[in-house]
């Protein structure tokens, strides 16, 4: 997987992709990251990358020419086809399903805007897809690019060991449920004891408990993710039993 990031702050991306699981994946050459600064492709003494918007208003708009020259250099650096993805609050919100789709690509070009945005003519000619992190406004696309790189890189074959396996993650699996709670040593603690079932060694019971916790958490915290009509009989039973358990905890 090759990431090319067009950004006024390439060092920001290099830092965030150098740590933890993602940093290890990069060391193992499971992906490569290439930062491209449009300022390096700007003309003139001032290497201007932005100017005032036509029609007035606040802020500055990133200029077509440096971005076009920069993108040409990115394309010329490697023949592998790659979509240009623009990070912006006007894009579709990123989901784990989208992350999986992106993770299957050989390459992508992430375009980060700053200031008020990018000249619409460049966007219309060059961008294949617009992705947003969520319904809030950031000061630039770099955090969005860092999020995509992190989420996509950890799904590359060999990035996670068995214990970290992505199959257990929230939003993975057929129903896209939230992850279950996790516990480690000590089994007994003033903050609470580890549920007995996790210490029972009974793998089927542990799997059922985890599934039940995932169902319950999704139902409690993100009910819009859970379409109960699509649950199979076993899941329906686990969820019903889980809810009964919550009720009896409340009214012992």
- Binding-site positions for S-adenosyl-L-methionine: 113, 133-138
CB of 182 to ligand ADE, least distance (A): 29
Q: Which of residues 139-178 bind ligand ADE (CB under 6 A)?
A: 140-141, 144
63-71, 83-91, 97-105, 120-128 -> range binding ligand ADE (CB under 6 A): 83-91
Contacting residue, 23, 89, 176, 195, with ligand ADE by CB under 6 A: 89
**Signed CA dihedral, 13, 84, 122, 45: sign only:** positive
Round to whole Å and give the CA distance between 124 and 22: 32
As a whole number of angstroms, the distance between CA 97 and CA 102 comes to 9
Task: By CB under 6 A, tell whether 59 contacts ligand ADE.
Answer: no
Q: Give me the sheet containing 117-118, strands edge to edge.
A: 50-51, 61-62, 117-118
Do 170 and 130 form a contact (C-beta atoms < 8 A)? no
Please report how close the Cβ of residue 149 comes to ligand ADE at its closest, in angstroms: 13
The Cα–Cα gap between 45 and 24 comes to: 40
Q: Which of 27, 136, 157, 161 binds ligand ADE (CB under 6 A)?
A: 136
**Degrees, nearest 5: CA angle 218-224-225:** 55
CB of 135 or CB of 174, closer to ligand ADE: 135
Q: Packing angle between helix 142-153 and helix 96-103, nearest 10 degrees?
A: 70
Does the footprint of ligand ADE cover residue 109 (CB under 6 A)? no
Active-site residue list: 89, 116, 154, 169
35 part of the interface to ligand ADE, by CB under 6 A: no
Instruction: Work out the angle at residue 54's Cα, subtended by the Cα atoms of residues 48 and 59, and round it to the nearest 5 degrees.
Output: 60
- Selected from 13, 17, 133, 226, the binder of ligand ADE by CB under 6 A is 133
Cβ closer to ligand ADE: 144 or 242? 144
Q: Residue 88, interface with ligand ADE (CB under 6 A)?
A: yes
Annotated binding site: 113, 133-138
How far is the C-alpha of 239 from the C-alpha of 98, rounded, in Å?
28
Burial class (CB in 10 A: 0-12, 13-18, 19+), 69: middle
* Least spacing, CB of residue 122 vs ligand ADE, in Å: 16
138 makes contact with ligand ADE (CB under 6 A): yes
- Residue numbers at the binding site for ligand ADE (CB under 6 A): 87-89, 132-134, 136-138, 140-141, 144
């Amino acid at each position: 997987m090759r990431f090319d990031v067009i950004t006024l702050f390439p060092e920001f991306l290099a830092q965030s992709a150098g740590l933890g699981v993602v940093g290890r994946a990069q060391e193992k050459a499971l992906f490569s990251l290439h930062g491209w600064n449009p300022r390096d492709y700007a003309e003139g003494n001032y290497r201007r990358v932005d100017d005032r918007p036509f029609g007035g208003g606040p802020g500055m708009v990133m200029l077509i020419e440096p971005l076009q020259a920069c993108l040409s250099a990115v394309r010329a650096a490697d023949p592998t086809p790659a979509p240009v993805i623009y990070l912006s609050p006007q894009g579709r919100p990123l989901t784990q399903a989208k992350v999986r789709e992106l993770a299957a690509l050989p390459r992508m070009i992430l375009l980060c805007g700053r200031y008020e945005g990018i000249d619409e003519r460049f966007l219309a000619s060059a961008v294949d897809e617009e992705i947003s992190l969520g319904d809030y406004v950031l000061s630039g696309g770099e955090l969005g690019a860092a999020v995509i790189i992190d989420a996509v890189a950890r799904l590359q074959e060999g990035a996670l060991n068995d214990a970290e396996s992505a199959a257990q993650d929230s939003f993975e699996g057929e129903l896209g449920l939230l992850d279950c709670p996790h516990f480690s040593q000590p089994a007994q603690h003033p903050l609470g004891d580890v549920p007995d079932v996790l210490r029972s060694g009974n793998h089927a019971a542990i799997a059922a408990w985890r599934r039940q916790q995932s169902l319950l958490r999704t139902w409690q915290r993100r009910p819009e993710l859970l379409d109960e009509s699509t649950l199979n009989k076993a899941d329906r039973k686990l969820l019903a039993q889980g809810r009964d358990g919550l009720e009896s905890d409340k009214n012992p």
